Structures are given as C-alpha cells and as structure tokens.
Amino acid sequence: MNWILASFLMLVFSNIYYLITRKAQINKIDRRIYLISNFFFSAIFYYIVIKYRQLSFIPNINTLVTIFLVAFFLSYIPSAVSYVAMSKAPNAGYSMVIQKSYAVFTTIASVFLFKSSFSWIKFLIVAFILFNVGLVSLADQKKNSKKNSNSWVLLSFIPFFGYGILRLSNKLIVTTRNVDSVVLLFWTTLFVTIFSTIDFIIHRKRINIKLSKIDWTILISIGISVSFFYYFLLTAEITAPNLGYVSAINAASNAIFTVLVALIFKEKVTLKKMIGVIGVTLGIVLLML
C-alpha cells in the first residue's frame, strides 16, 4: 500500500479512535477496562489477519522477548498515562498535541537509525514546533491555579517519549528481525492485554464494572478503530521514505482533533491555544517538505 494513502487512513482512524476514547472518559469508564478493550479487540483483529494471510505466528525467542519488553515499557505504560493525561487536560486535544509531537523526535532519530537526511532548516522548524507545543501547553494558565492543575502537561510527555521510541523500535523489529508487521502488532496487543488484565484483577474491588449498553458499544468501537489506526500507522511507517513523515501526519491530526473535541464535547478552547495548535501543524507540514 502507498504510504501516503496509508497515512491518510491512519489520520482518519486516529481521530475516530481518540474521539471515542474521549467519550469513554466522559462516561467515566475506568482506564483499566479501557486498556483491556483497546488491545484485546485489536489482538483478535490481527489474529484473523494472520490466519487469513497464513503467516507464521511465533518469531524466534529473542525477538519475542524484545517485543514483550517493548510492549510493556513503550506501549502499556504510555497508553495508561495517555488516558489519564487526556482526562486531566482542559481540552483532550491539548494533551494529544504534546503526545503526538514525537514526530520531532522520530524525524531526528531517523537520521541516525535509518540514515535519513536532515538540514539546519529542518532543525529550525523543529524548534518552531517545540515553541508552539509550549504555547499549547502553558497558555492561559492562571497564576493562582491549583498545584496539580498542570499535571497533565508533564504526564503528556511520558507518552511523547514512549510512543516516539515505540515507533522507532517497531520499524527496527520489522526491518532487522524479519517479522511481519501484523505479527508484531498481534504480539504487542496480546502482551498489553495481559498486562492490563493483571492490573484489572489486582484493582478489581475498586473498579466499577457495571457497564451500560452504551459503554459496551464505546469499548467495542475503541477496539475496532484502534486496530485500523495501528495497522495503517505501522504500514505507512514501514513503506515511507522517512518514518518521521508519518509521525508528522499523525501529529498534524491534533489540529482536527482539538477542534472536533471543542465542537462535539463543548470543551474549552482558547485563541492562544488554537494559535499554538495551528503553529504545530504548520511546522510539521514544513518538516515534511
């Protein structure tokens, strides 16, 4: 599949996924239940694809151990923190702007890992993007606000680095370990499902497991949309001339997401923050040129 088409489909399903995730937060669905549904349905989806394509399920033991560690530290932990950061932010889109701005990180890292080109002009564009990320994160914060009111900013940087390193790690695993991308996604989502289930069992007495039909619809929709999001994201990353380009398109979707959240869920959106979102998007587009 052409990487531009895959990137476009990734962008579409990204916004669908995060909008549904925001609805789950509004409905106060516990993050542990969210994580299980997020990865369990994805694992089933990738299992079906593997069977249909008649791929080998099990890579060598060293690769499996690597995927296990990557799944825990770079997928499970960032996903859990991401959910909390989005719920704490005045507008979930603000948190996502920070989280998805790892395009800056992956573009630079790709120079060393995949021998991608880089220039001083792009370095200045990277600095411009970081400036606008700060504008989105810190603008309009009241001086007398509570101490923990900005905690979402710091929390958002955990998935920023986690997801960025995950994107690089996944491409390295696929290209150097001879692992099909769908097989990698299957094992990653399976492992994270196991981690999430263990966390759920440990804290089950404090979790409200009474879910309405609407809640179940939300959870299943999350699983379906994120399956396509992850699939098209990795497909684009593997086929693109520079992994950072795909990360940039992914990050650019934040402008759409921030506006959609404000319109659909009537969440706070200010002029300064919208300028920051536009600045991030403009910088990332320039980075791709």
Q: How confident is the model at residue 144 (pLDDT cuts 50, 70, 90)?
A: very low
Residue 186 has pLDDT above 50, yes or no: yes
Q: From CA 101, how far away is CA 129, in angstroms rounded?
A: 8
Q: Model pTM?
A: 0.84
* pLDDT value for 10: 93
Question: What radius of gyration do the chain's Cα atoms show?
Answer: 19
Residue 195 has pLDDT above 80, yes or no: yes
* pLDDT value for 137: 58
Query: What ranges do the domains of the chain cover?
Result: 3-288
Q: What is the 8-class DSSP label of residue 204?
A: G
Q: Is 136 helix (H, G, I), strand (E, B) or coil?
A: helix
* pLDDT value for 140: 53
pLDDT digits (tens, 9 = 90+) for 21-37: 989 988 999 989 999 99
Residue 93 has pLDDT above 80, yes or no: no
Q: From CA 250, how far away is CA 8, in angstroms rounded?
A: 9
Cβ atoms of residues 162 and 101 within 8 Å: no
Residue 280 has pLDDT above 50, yes or no: yes
* pLDDT value for 90: 81
More confident residue, 218 or 283: 218
